[in-house]
Amino acid sequence: MTAVTQIKVTDLTKNYNDFCAVDKINFKVKKGEILGLLGPNGAGKTTTLRMVTGFFEPSEGEITIKNLKMPDHTLEIKKLIGYLPESAPLYHNMLVFDYLVYIAKIKGIKKDNILGRLKELSALCGLSEIMHKPISDLSKGLNQRVGLAHAMISDPEILILDEPTSGLDPNQIVEIRKIIKTIGKEKTIILSTHILSEAEATCDRILIIDKGKIVADDTSENLKQNVQSDSFITLSLYEANEKEALELIQSIDQNIKVTIKDSSDKNALSFKINISKTNDPMRKIYLKIKETDWIISEFKKEDQSLENIFHKLTTED
């Protein structure tokens, strides 16, 4: 069964005088999908999210959410969305419990249902031990958890999270990631980040934006396979002569690019051998080295990482 498209963005554009922050982008998000929005600083990620959430009005283009179009149905659309900006907008002089009760009332949750909802969010976001602490006493990681609870308090169908792990330590990042993965089983999520490992571990699909334009839109696995970027072989040898080893590798194919590589093992001679998708000389190299007295200490193929693909797509025209 084909998943229902929940968010559709068509030719979305945002201009600030002569500067085009978002330039005619198009994408769809299916129900129950976690979409990672990646891009360097200033690429247009936050501007895009603010338009999708109804906080910014587009200069051009169309946003449709569950068959409701902005700006005609902005208020109805906002009720479907939970939004967590990069810095959670919390009232630091309030206790966590009091703050969430206050937000629940603003969101129109019935008085009899508030306590039950807070218990659910406390369990999901790990807030049980801090419910009666002032928000001003919390770390940034705990602030982000409270911000997530705020965004989810009305049980929205769609969550928009702008850099939810920005400024967090590695342990806090893992904790927030687990929460997002759990939430994503039931909700549609757009998650912006510049932490590529986070996107790869969390998201079903990745959309890369650069200079206001979409430069890639696919799963991380498909991006690795389809982006035209060569892989390479790492080769480390004992008892090998540098000149002879270079000549041996080059004799297999003159088009192979071989460079000397720094090695943590001072006794080993290491090489980086660039290879193309259509030319993988790994077996030939192994058989040639077998004819010598050299000892192989490392011989592995390194596929393209998401970091390399991101760099290629956001630094090259």
Q: What is the pTM of this model?
A: 0.79
| CATH assignment, 231-304 | 3.30.70.260
Nearest CA to 270 out of 287, 248, 305, 245 is that of 245
The residues, ordered by sequence, that sit 6+ positions from 119 with a Cβ below 8 Å of its Cβ are none
Q: How far, rounded to the nearest angstrom, does the alpha carbon of residue 260 sit from its chain's CA centroid?
A: 33
Nearest CA to 109 out of 97, 117, 119 is that of 117
pLDDT score of 198: 81
Nearest CA to 159 out of 5, 288, 7, 28 is that of 7
Q: How far, rounded to the nearest angstrom, does the alpha carbon of residue 151 sit from its chain's CA centroid?
A: 19
Is the CA virtual torsion 148, 150, 153, 159 positive or negative? negative
CA pair distance 60, 164, nearest whole angstrom: 28
pLDDT score of 77: 94
DSSP state of 192: E
> Residue 264 in 3-state DSSP?
coil
Nearest CA to 96 out of 64, 128, 70 is that of 128
Count of beta carbons in the 10 Å neighbourhood of residue 53: 22
Q: Dihedrals φ, ψ of 71, to 5°?
A: -90, 5
Buried b (16+ CB within 10 A) or exposed e, 55-91: ebebeebebbbbeeebeebbeebbebbbbbbbebebe
**74 contacts 68 by C-beta, under 8 angstroms:** no
Q: How far, rounded to the nearest angstrom, does the alpha carbon of residue 255 sit from its chain's CA centroid?
A: 36
CA pair distance 123, 101, nearest whole angstrom: 16
Q: In what order do the strands lie in the sheet with 81-84?
A: 81-84, 158-162, 188-193, 34-38, 205-210, 213-218
CATH superfamily of 5-226: P-loop containing nucleotide triphosphate hydrolases (3.40.50.300)
Regarding beta strands 268-275 and 257-261, do their DSSP bridges make them parallel or antiparallel, or are they unpaired?
antiparallel
Q: pLDDT 10s per residue in the chain (317 long)?
A: 567 889 999 999 999 999 999 999 999 999 999 999 999 988 999 999 999 999 999 999 999 999 999 989 999 999 999 999 988 889 999 999 999 999 999 999 999 999 999 999 999 999 999 999 999 999 988 999 999 999 999 999 999 999 988 888 888 888 888 889 888 888 999 999 888 888 888 899 999 999 999 999 998 888 877 765 567 888 999 998 889 998 898 888 877 888 888 877 888 899 888 877 667 788 899 999 999 999 999 988 876 677 777 877 887 65
Domain boundaries, the chain: 5-226, 231-304
The residues, ordered by sequence, that sit 6+ positions from 145 with a Cβ below 8 Å of its Cβ are 125, 126, 127, 175, 176, 179
- The two tokens of residue 170 are 């590695």
